[in-house]
Chain A
């Protein structure tokens, strides 16, 4: 009698532990992408997003990063952005659009042989600066450019 009661207790305890793990989001498929910086991407503020993604929001403006973006983007859903960093030791890069609801669009971590060059396409809600932040030798460098977004597509 007593023995059975022990077994039952143990069983329910174990089940409880698994349930808690699922509840905490530990066993969901999202956990597979554990490296994804959720806090950084969901931040609503540029500085918060930067500190979370790059470790600091203290950036030095430089002309060694070339940010190529259109002056006027007729379609905010597809804005081509090319960033070239000429700083030695570039290890990672982020592209931010401050006026988007969630400013951080993407972060790139480079391998040792990879050059500081990224070309991609981002979405922009409205006219805003585009900021490219580069991390090199533990320091942050940034450059920005304004892109005008004309929603009507009339090219104004």
Chain B
């Protein structure tokens, strides 16, 4: 009915005003600036950029502010904004071997060339709440070494590759297109490019849980964190009007290479196999989950049994996107009055039938 629609309009408008007020919180407390979010909630910004699939720290900070810190909502906002922008083209693949490394660890080699760089990490903190921080952050000062980190740090996988102990990751044919799920519908079986793009945008919680499931035995792949590195890489792009590639800026990325148990064949002696994770910003847990799931999804390529959920690519890929998942779950809140009326009619009819059947049975006794 028309009247009901008008009533809904006002309620929605007022709900949004209330939302704005609650977002702001107590007006006596200073308002958050985007700079504060970008600088002091930087890991939230990184997650929103990665899963929102758009590298822009200011926009991610705005999305976080607008979403009141609800990161999945912020990811939705960034994805929606993304659709309003034209795409100038596709960049050259980033070269993580040339990364300006700020953190680099390996669980497979103690003394790897270039060394273990802890960088800024929660790993060795005691996870005790810091009440000094609650009282106000005294300007912390990092230690500064006399020299920087050596450049062009070798990947751990290259060390194993010299001995032929690990499968090689060779470039694909540059003339072939690369699957893009923002332009094409998913096809199954999916190729690795489609899987990696899906996982790169995928929900961190989903990948964490699926990766964890593989460690607990659901598609066990015996992983070692071969290498995790975080740092800056250049983004190169060749504009048509120039005809040659130029660097258009730098992005921070996290890369994880998982080294997994062996596969061999009549032609190739047993080798370690690999799983790969890559994210925008510093999203280490996500990169590790992604690398575990990437390896699990390669089960078919290696002729392994595909019995566990993490090895089922359609199951994994079709449910990884938190914008889609959130949309479909939350649409249940929308009015389903007519559907529900139909169900009411059905359940009443079924009950009448059941009652009638019981009455006949009672009469027969």
- Please determine whether chains A and B interact with each other in the same assembly: no
Interface residues of A (CB under 8 A from B): none
Interface residues of B (CB under 8 A from A): none
